[in-house]
Amino acid sequence: MSLKLYYEPTSPPSRAVQILIDLLQIPHEKIRISFKNKDHKSPEYLAINPLGEVPCILEADGFALWESEAIMKYLVNSRKQGGDSLYPGDPKARAMVDKYYPFHHSVFRSKVSKYAH
């Protein structure tokens, strides 16, 4: 497989990236990073993602990328799948998509995590 996805199934950003990968039908290998087992602190994983967070992708050429927003934009742009429907080229249409990234982090996740404990 040319793409590896490092993920934790309980992580909403991991799930968002996985959904996009599935939607785009990108062949990939999933590698679970267990926070409970401290996989995110292993020297092998920190060599790929120095922040030790999920999700993270690793391309066959060694290109590593973390942060779900960056990953999703990269996958749509690099695979040229989904055309403009997933990430429009028009600046105004793209801005309408982009406005939901900070909303997700600042509003939705804060409300959900409030009730998750």
- Please list the active-site residues: 11
Can you say whether the dihedral through the CA atoms of 12, 13, 14, 20 is positive or negative?
positive
Residues 6+ apart with CB under 8 A from 58: 3, 4, 6, 48, 64
- Amino acid in position 46: L
The encoded tokens of residue 77 equal: 């742009």
C-alpha to C-alpha distance for 111 and 115, rounded to whole angstroms: 7
List, in sequence order, the alpha helices (H) in 2-108.
12-24, 43-48, 68-79, 83-86, 91-98, 100-103
